[in-house]
Structure 1
């Protein structure tokens, strides 16, 4: 699988491409940083980011694009520009029908270093070791883009299994609730047309026990 990592930004937007192998093996294929200057009009800066990202997708044909999820903290204006850059990259991927995944900075740090509070230096050191690079990627935006790509390649299989398990549990719960409802509807009356609450409860419990044995689910 080829993963394109994007560390969005208007002044510097990091782009990276890695390829995964069975297990957790990853190989860096390319890395770049798109630069624009603050004296340029916003629309031209966004066009530059979109143009380079689209060119990368045309050349490298990634299977998925992993973008850092933007949070507005103290510097709201900076966060706005970062979010806009992330948006045009996601748009480029959408036009090419390439799936897009978003990861928070803490998720990336935890995946790469084991700690969601790792600093830039630790992140750069670990991504250099993981990818077996001869020297640390520079600037930091390049290292962050590589880290995003690696994070997604490691998290995606686990997330897929979690989603599958959630879907199975949801189906099992829906089946259980349907059986309970059916048992209540079919519960015998006392001959006068009135329901027997005690009988209803006992049949519902029996249906639940049977459902649990059939599905192997413990509630």
Structure 2
């Protein structure tokens, strides 16, 4: 079936998706399907945690959850920068975000609540945490990163590590724009944009905290 698309954008997205899927499958080889299975297993686990939280709180705390297996190109580039071999075996042994998840909440407090639930649940072991909300990166980036150790019999060690990033809607909006700027070539006024992004990050963080405070006040009556 052919879809009519005046600017060809849909066909480009679908075609690019098929191309990237093929590249991933070729690069990861025998590990690709097990990685997909692990991705779905962790995704279901996160959804169960969120559903339990929502049932207890009486509302849905999460805007959305997304997941991905790192592209072949992105993985090879990362391994090269770290000085490792750029093979799939090297990726399993040396990289903590072959499979990545992004969980976006409405309020800051929900990020910390979900992180605590992840640790208490014990299904997957939390081996590392980075709180970039309390301690933002110099460019203004804010998020909470959790590294999980997961059973993966195909790996030599029997386990691999995956990353879960948790952030608010405001933080996610900022990160999306910063990511676009980071990977786009030939941008004018880069220094100005970076300064403005950092300023916006501070303002959005302040708004996040204010919204959290207002919500808490409303709930107290």
Give the shorter-chain TM-score range. under 0.3
TM-score by length of 1: 0.23
Larger Rg belongs to = 1
TM-score by length of 2: 0.23
Report which structure shows greater RCO (CA 8 Å, sep ≥6).
1
